[in-house]
Each structure stands twice: as structure tokens, then as C-alpha cells.
Amino acid sequence: MENILELKHITKSYEDGINVIEDLNLTVKKGELITLLGPSGCGKTTLLRMIGGFDLPNSGEILLHGEDIGQLPPEKRPINTVFQKYALFPFLNIYDNIAFGLKQRKVDKNLIRQKVKHALSVVDLEGFEKRNVDSLSGGQQQRVAVARAIVNEPEILLLDEPLSALDHKMRLEMQAEIRNMHDNLGMTFIYVTHDQEEAMNLSDRIVVMANGVIQQEGAPEEIYDRPANIFVADFIGVSNIFTGDVTDKKRARFAGKIFKTDSDLPVGTRIEAMIRPENVEITGAGEGAIDAVVTSDIYKGSHHEITAEFGKYEVTVYGKSRVETGSTIGIDFPREYIHLMRHDMDMNVFDGVINQDGSADFTYFTLAPDAEFMRDKAPGSKVQVVFESKDADLSDDPEAGFVTGNIDAIMYIGDHYTYIVRGDNDEDYYADDDWLWNMGDRVSIVVPQDKFRYRELI
């Protein structure tokens, strides 16, 4: 398929100077259904608004068929949007809602009638022309919004969380309908959601975003089976993640054991090992690689979600039958289902300069003098500080730590939680903690003075 849309080095920030989108590059193929997926605040809706012309990038190019449309207003772009709240006109009936844009363009009445009739057939609402918007269910209103968008025959249809107001059953039905509409129309769809299941059900390709940056893009199967990092692994579905290292060719140590793997990562590489609950094998006690004590068994309809503990670790397993709480089971991690990722969230690295009093100024914080390191260092010398996530604790006391921010991401790593804290000036910090905090919690980061490691930059 040929490229229809190219985003090149897109950056977007608002008046506070905080980047919402940071040097983003993305290509969209003609006729594909691509989903922008990520937590609230990750930049996906801002990106969609820039594609639609409702917002402008600070820098970068938005190319449609190779032509830059980044400064064109929405009405000059062959792109239509289905908004989260549908934005239907309550004083117009269904026909006039759908025909509104065509009438504004002064399209011939007979042609309008033909186009509206076709759009209604696509969304399965034939015969509803004279109905009032208020008489429709949420799912029907969503279909009218889609019909109004496609009646103008745009090259690209943008959908901004269009199913968020529907109940779970209706969402599943509408997902199938949107997929069918896409297949029948052959139009390019760019879909925004924070719902992982929705993205998996709908997409040809998923783009996972966090903090205005693309973490990974690929087919749903690739995103699920081979996540690029622990953010993606934790955000998409349920996963068991353990920190470890590669001990030998195709062998890795994690969860207190050495396992065979199919990975080609070099020996000594620090890794995160992921295995999905449905791929963990349950055996009799003493028959598996690990013995674990069952702490819960929740029936989910299609399977039992079993949680078990071994040592300081915890594992989630999907089983076919109930297991008694408190009983001991054996578990195995088959090598073909173990996915290894490079460990990339343990080091916090910041550059700064030495002050007259021997303290060090970094972009968003100042650290007290380190007597041993600062000896013989001239004021103004460039310095770098490093601290590991395992040495950083979280506190709800804003005065306890050297920097404050809000929790932006949470990942459970077998025996602890790893957090991404978004600082007040849009910088990220990694911290490990045994305690479960909540998304958005206001925290300060506490690091013992002797855990900061400095080096002079030449």
C-alpha cells in the first residue's frame, strides 16, 4: 500500500512550555485502520487534532500525498472527524444532520439525497431519516456521527474515542460495525482509544504512545507477543514481568531461576522477562520449575485467573479449572513464550553544572555538595549525576524529596512496582517501590545522598 499521510518530526507544546508531542515520526498507509493507543495525557488526541487541522504543530511537517498540509484549516483538508461526544445538531433530524456539510458546500439536492441514502445504508440506519437525534440510542447516535463524516467522502476518517460513552456490550457491537465499515469503504481510518482490547479488536496497526513519544508500532499480534519495552508489555493486556540478566547463550536468570529462552541478546545484558498468563503452564507440586502457593482464584468465565506467590515473587496464571487457595502448585515458563526485553528503566541520568558553594545545579533541581566529588572541581564545571530506580523511594511529603511530580505510569515487575514520575517541568524520573501508588498521585522522589553518583563532563 502507498503512503497517504506522513508525520515528520512533529513537536507540540503549549504556553507552559511542556511538550505534549516530542519529535514524532509516523507514516500511515492508504486504506489501513491504524489506532493511536495510550493512557490519558499521552498526546494521542493532540496528535489527532493536528492531523485534522484543529491544532497546529510547533514544528515538523504533516504531509498528505507528499504535500504539506500542516497549516491548512480543517475545512481545507480532505479529512473528517468523529468526535467523542458526536457533536450532532439536536435541532436537526437525522437526514439534515448527515446532509449539513453537503448543504454548506451547496451540493445539488438530488446528489445530496443519493449520498445521504448511501451513508445511511453503510451505517445500517435506512429509514431513520426523519427521526430526531434525541430519540436515538447512544450506538445509533454514534452511527449518525460516522455517516455525517463519511458522506463527504474524505480520504481519511479520524475517530476520537467514539465508543467511550457506550456500555461494554454496545462497544463490542460497534467495534465490529466500525471494522466492517472500514473494510467496505476502503477509507483510511485513524482511531484514538485508551482501551487496549478495543485497539486489538479493530486495528491493522497499533501505535502505542506515552509522554508524547511512540513506544512501539506494529500489528496487534506483534505488540502483544513481542512488546518493545516494559511499558508496552504492562499496558497491553496482563503480563508477568521479572527483572534479570542473560547468563549464557539463550539462557536467562529471572524469578530466582535460570530458564532457556529463544532470545539472542548478548550474555550479561540486563533484561526484563515477560510471559503472558495464558502461556504459564500449571503442573503438580514438585513437577514444575517453580513451586508456588495459590493466593487467589477468580473465575473469569473463559478461564480461572490464578495468583500465586513464590519467595518474593508473584505470578498470574490462566487455568482451566479452580485451584484451592493456599494450595501449592508447580509452574513452568515454556521457552517459546518467554519474551526478553532490554532493561531500560533503571538509570536516571541528568546533566548540570557546579555552583560556587559546591552544590550542583541541574535543569530542574539542585543537589547538595558532595564533598568527595567536588574536591578540586571549579565552579561552572559540567557534571552528570546518575541514580538507579531501585535507590529512589516515593513520598507523599513534597518536602521529603529533591524533586516533585505526578505518577504517570505504573508497572508491576514480579516483586516490586516501577514508576515513571512526570516532574513538574515535564521531565521523567524512574523509581521502584514495594508499595502500590495510584496513577496521578502527587509524590516527591527521595534518594539518599550516598546513592547519587557523579562524574565530570569534559
Instruction: Give residue 90's pLDDT.
Output: 83
Place of cell 497549516: 71
In contact, 290 and 284? CB cutoff 8 Å: no
Pairwise CA distance, residues 235 & 66, whole Å: 34
Instruction: Give residue 156's pLDDT.
Output: 94
- Assigned CATH topology for domain 229-340: OB fold (Dihydrolipoamide Acetyltransferase, E2P) (2.40.50)
* pLDDT tens-digit map of 82-136: 877 767 888 888 888 888 888 878 888 888 888 888 888 888 888 888 888 888 8
Instruction: Give residue 97's pLDDT.
Output: 86
Instruction: Give residue 17's pLDDT.
Output: 66
Place of cell 504459564: 280
In contact, 241 and 273? CB cutoff 8 Å: yes
Pairwise CA distance, residues 67 & 312, whole Å: 56
Instruction: Give residue 83's pLDDT.
Output: 79
Amino acid at 217: E
Instruction: Give residue 51's pLDDT.
Output: 96
| Paired strand residues for 298 | 305
**Homologous superfamily (CATH) for 345-454:** Nucleic acid-binding proteins (2.40.50.140)
Pairwise CA distance, residues 54 & 81, whole Å: 10
Instruction: Give residue 346's pLDDT.
Output: 66
Neighbours of 163 (CB within 10 A): 24
Place of cell 563532563: 457
| Paired strand residues for 226 | none
Instruction: Give residue 106's pLDDT.
Output: 82
pLDDT under 50 in the chain at which residues?
Answer: none
**Homologous superfamily (CATH) for 1-228:** P-loop containing nucleotide triphosphate hydrolases (3.40.50.300)
The gap between the terminal CA atoms of the chain, to the nearest Å, is 49
The domain segmentation of the chain, as residue ranges, is: 1-228, 229-340, 345-454
Pairwise CA distance, residues 293 & 302, whole Å: 23
